[in-house]
Amino acid sequence: MILIKRNSMKNIKIILGLVFLTISSIGFISCEGDDSGPATVDGPPVINRVTLAINDSTTTVGLRENMYRIYGENLATTKEIYFNDTKSYFNPTLVTNTTILVSIPKETPYFDASDELKVVTSEGVAVIDFPIEQPAPEIDSFSPVAAGAGEIVTIVGSIFEGLESVRFGETEAVIVSSTSTEIQVEVPEGIVQSYIFVETLGGVTQSEQAFGFKFVIYDDALKEGWWVGGWDGSEDFENTEQVKRGDFSIKRIYNGGYSGFQIGNGGAPLPISDYSAVKVSIYGEQNVGNLRFSINALNEQELGVILQVEEGQWNDFEISLDDPALIGENELEVFSQIVIQELSGNSNVIIYIDDLGLI
């Protein structure tokens, strides 16, 4: 049997009393300002304001895929939340009687919508004006990847509503047509290489890939370090008679049948793996037939892409560096030279060459 003295019993009672008081105080402090537990809902919901979740700054507009905090009254029994009539998922554990933490769905519309935030509870519905801002445009691709002034470039992507401008670098382009997923523009004068910028009500987006040549071989002048070869003909690299873009083009006169125009790289090596194609524009003036375009002088007469040139106009060609007709079974590592051979057998064949480069 354990004996406890009277004074000891008195001390134990005092200690127990203090412990109880401390626990009660902690419980009171913990619950103060926290309505996440059982709440008294005494009427329909009320929305007072909305803030971004990362701060307490009130906002009157929302942006898709962002988290927001809704402040109000009688929110504890929230069943559904809608932004522009699009139902939003929310975690019930993040709902109290005065706040809701919720994200705006990615698919929420931002044009021709109700511009409303709606909270549905078991006691009623609360609605406030809350438009969704248009996101910045998204550029997926554009084609062609290089073109001359006045030619049409098609830009494919999304969120192009409210289109304000399209720029090539700092130069604004003429917009021919546009939808929410496609824009057609005219290439401005003087563009060799630049990024494309699409600006809408939602912001400005830059293309990931630059428009134009990754490596320019001829643009008013032959690339420094490149040499000129060829046979049975002549060439003028500062011709002004027919020009695709800029001030000059190359005038090539084929004096004899099967004559060849030839230029080559005498500078730093050009790894073929860095490029996808050769782009060139050719104007046929007289007696022109088919031309054979080949690279690296492979000494295989059957290799080369056949170019069908229409007289009296500029013909644009994009020749893939993977084309079997161009390389056969060879594994090419560097780009060394270009040959454009006349195949009709006619003499005094004249062509003009411009906008020659690698893309």
**Polymer length in residues for the chain:** 359
Q: Left, alpha or beta for 299 (phi > 0: left; psi -120 to 50: alpha)?
A: left
Helix, strand, coil % over all residues of the chain, rounded to 5: 10, 45, 45
Instruction: Calculate the alpha carbon distances from 215 to 197, 271, 275 in Å.
Output: 21, 11, 9
pLDDT, mean of residues 189-211: 93
Is residue 13 helix, strand or coil? Answer: helix
Cα 9 vs. chain centroid, distance in angstroms? 79
pLDDT, mean of residues 197-215: 94
Residue that finishes a domain, picked among 163, 189, 212: 212
Instruction: Examine the domain organization and report whether 344 and 224 are in the same domain.
Output: yes
Q: Per the domain annotation, does 24 fall within a domain? A: no
Mean pLDDT of the chain: 87
The closest alpha carbon to 357, from 219, 208, 204, 225, belongs to: 219
Q: Per the domain annotation, does 348 fall within a domain? A: yes
Domain count, the chain: 3
Instruction: Examine the domain organization and report whether 350 and 223 are in the same domain.
Output: yes
Q: Per the domain annotation, does 102 fall within a domain? A: yes
- Indicate if the pLDDT at residue 19 is higher than 60: no
> What percentage of residues in the chain have a pLDDT greater than 70?
87
Which residues of 207-244 form beta strands (DSSP E)? 211-212, 215-218, 226-228, 233-239
Instruction: Examine the domain organization and report whether 351 and 237 are in the same domain.
Output: yes
Render pLDDT for 271-295 as a digit per residue (tens, 0 to 9).
999 998 999 999 999 888 899 999 8
Overall pTM surpassing 0.85 (yes/no): no
- Number of DSSP helices (H) and strands (E) in the chain, helices first: 2, 28
Determine the structural domain holding residue 311 and report its residue range.
Answer: 215-358
Which residue(s) pair with 194 in the sheet? 211
* Tokens, residue 273: 């793996």
Q: What per-residue confidence (pLDDT) applies to 326?
A: 84
Q: What per-residue confidence (pLDDT) applies to 169?
A: 96
